[in-house]
Amino acid sequence: MEKIYVTRTSMPEFEEYIDAIKPLWESHWLTNMGMYHQQLEQELKEYLGVSGISLMVNGHLALELAIQSFGFPKGGEVITTPFTFISTTHAIVRNGLKPVFCDVKADGTIDEAKIETLITKDTVAIVPVHVYGNICDVETIDKIAKRNNLKVIYDAAHAFGIKYKGLGIGSYGDASIFSFHATKVFNTIEGGAVTFNDAEVYERLYNLKNFGIRGEETVVSVGANAKMNEFSAIMGLCNLKNIEAAIESRRIAYECYVEGIRKINKVSIISNDTADNRNYAYLPVLFSGEELRNRVYDLLKEQGVYSRKYFYPLTSDQECYGGQNNNSDISVARSLSSRVLVLPLYEGLQIETVKRILDIINALVVE
Ligand SMILES: *Cc1c(COP(=O)(O)O)cnc(C)c1O
């Protein structure tokens, strides 16, 4: 039986990639901000509709270094959400900062109405997540941040190519991060980027991603190594050529799911219509209860369909955080987490497969 996973990596034709990497055998220049790194930065700046971008080795380090670039005092508090991939919370904690968990709304994004109740004298930043590509209320968050003198760093790992009021989603806040991991809408095998408006952020990130080296004998600051290499940059250039077709293929499968799910009781899709466009990154469905969600997950698995409980458990409930940070009310996040299931969605997913998945769910729900 063919196994269907929740995602499948978009790849260029083999020959296309091989042709594209050939020049590396002449130049012997495989990393260190080579010409393909620079070219991908330019092309992504345009595609993402942002004024500044810095490519990184992955999305996680993009977030860690983006946070680090603002030089927050250790022990500072960061308002974020627990309904996300563990990377978001880790990036805060690994910067020596304390995550303060804010509840989310029905679309999975941070509940901006609850942010201010969590602000204390120690709060330094807000790290919201455009979860599943559903964008946050960036305008209200901006007002809250200005009023309270806080930085906003968006985890936009799911929001590749999304625009809001004509601007790239990565233009909002003080910085945003994207992930180009193999499982995402757009990939560079592993990779990521930080986007920002302030050109100075570029300089600080450059130092953080390349050991603070500014000359043969000059190190200006303490830095890590988080550069994207040329093989990854070329993978990105190839995949970017095909991005419209990849998203269109996802859209067709997504619409088929939408139509099917509309007819099934006790199941709905988690989404909002805030952004100018969608990238069809994920197909998150919400069941009426946890038991039904778990039964659907198990039955799909028995039939070779590997859905994922994104995001369950909440990051705040993971063993490494021991529930210790859980003082605020995160009941909506908890409710979503217990009932959500992300179904397979990727470029090239067959409509027959979508229908088969819908049939399996339907059979269980009406049972
Ligand atoms: C994928 C992802 C990341 C991490 O990106 P990597 O490229 O895998 O390091 C961070 N946050 C969210 C929400 C993600 O989905």
How confident is the model over 265-282, as pLDDT tens digits?
999 999 999 999 999 999
What was the pLDDT predicted at 366?
Answer: 84
pLDDT value for 60: 98
**Cβ atoms 228, 206 nearer than 8 A:** no
Atom of ligand 1 at shortest distance to CA of 88? Answer: 11
Instruction: Give the residue ranges of the chain where pLDDT is below 70.
Output: 323-327
Identify the pLDDT of residue 322.
76
Atom of ligand 1 nearest to the CA of 180: 7
Mutational test site, ligand 1, from 87, 186, 232, max ligand atoms within 8 Å of CB: 87
pLDDT tens figures, 185-218: 999 999 999 999 999 999 999 999 999 999 999 9
Q: Is 327:270 a contact under the CB 8 Å cutoff? A: no
* Cα 285 from Cα 260, distance rounded (Å): 12
Q: Which residues contact 174 (CB under 8 A, 6 or more apart)?
A: 70, 151, 152, 153, 196, 198, 201
Give me ligand 1 centre to Cα 366, in Å.
Answer: 36
For residue 181, which atom of ligand 1 is closest to its CA? Answer: 7
**Ligand 1 centre distance from Cα of residue 205 (Å):** 18
pLDDT at position 324: 62
Find the 125 Cα to ligand 1 centroid distance in Å. Answer: 19
Nearest to 131 by CA among 332, 364, 352, 362: 332
> So what's the pLDDT on residue 212?
98
For atom 6 of ligand 1, the residue with the nearest CA is 59
- Dihedral of the alpha carbons of 32, 35, 38, 42, in degrees to the nearest 10: -170
Residue ranges around ligand 1 (CB below 6 Å) = 58-60, 84-85, 87-88, 129, 155, 157-158, 179, 181, 192
pLDDT at res. 326: 61
Rounded Cα gap, residues 353 and 367, in angstroms: 21
CA of residue 326 to ligand 1 center, whole Å: 23
| Residue 184 near residue 155 (C-beta atoms within 8 A) | no
CA of 215 to the centre of ligand 1 (A): 32
